Amino acid sequence: METLSSNYLESIRKQFQYYKKLADQSIHRLNEEQLSWQFNPESNSIAIIMRHIAGNLHSRFTDFLTSDGEKPWRNRDQEFEATLLTYEELLDYWEHGWIRLFEAIDICKSEDLERLVYIRNEGHTIMEAFNRQLAHYPYHIGQIVYIARMILGESWQSLSIPKNQSTSYNQEKFDQEKGRRHFTDGV
């Protein structure tokens, strides 16, 4: 029988994968110039948001169980500067950050979820630390999707239920037998 704790680890993995997929689908529709586009000088480009998320991922999940999640080598302020990374360097940094997160999830066992880890000397249970990031990353991924949609305009293709197709989507779901599933299954 599946325990609440093991279900939690499986569920957050699927949710992080889902949000990463939304970001990736948006990012891969754009070229290098579009990733650097800013609405105005005070707004963030997708590239800047990617660097911030990746910097956070690297910091939070490197040595996740044994060191503070805000690493001394992280320069958070620099993540918001429009420094030049090639498209390939940015994607590599992004991917390796997500790898760190999924490795951290993989090393956790159900009995670890109440164990404390620290972020800026503030104690969090492992569950709280994951929940903190599960709130943080989708916030920024929503920005990535929105900016990509602004850039692509009419050529944008929906990442979820397309406009005016809710009824058919719902009918497809209700045509399935009731059962225990995660909302990201089949996405």
Please state, in angstroms and rounded to a whole number, the distance separating the CA atoms of residues 127 and 2: 17
Span 158-167, average pLDDT:
87
pLDDT per residue as tens digits for the range 80-135: 987 768 899 999 999 999 999 999 999 999 999 999 999 999 999 999 999 999 99
140 C-beta neighbours (distance < 10 Å), count: 19
pLDDT grade, residue 186 (50/70/90)? low
User: Can you give the pLDDT at residue 60?
Assistant: 98
Q: Is 117 helix (H, G, I), strand (E, B) or coil?
A: strand
Pair of tokens at residue 87: 């498209």
Tell me what percent of the residues of the chain surpass a pLDDT of 70: 96
Residue 1 has pLDDT above 80, yes or no: no
Domain ranges of the chain: 4-174
Return the CA Rg of the chain.
18
Helix-, strand-, coil-residue percentages of the chain, each rounded to 5 = 60, 5, 35
Name, in order, each residue with C-beta under 8 angstroms of 72's C-beta and a sequence gap of 6 or more: none
Find, among 22, 5, 2, the residue nearest to 184 by Cα.
22
Domain 4-174 CATH (choose: 3.40.50.10490, 3.30.2020.10, 2.40.50.140, 1.20.120.450): 1.20.120.450
Find, among 135, 134, 130, 160, the residue nearest to 145 by Cα.
160
User: Can you give the pLDDT at residue 183?
Assistant: 79
Query: Mean pLDDT across the chain, nearest whole number?
Result: 93
pLDDT grade, residue 187 (50/70/90)? low
Span 37-58, average pLDDT:
96
Q: At what angle do helices 4-27 and 126-152 cross, to 10 degrees?
A: 20
Lowest-pLDDT range of 16-20, 63-67, 163-167: 163-167
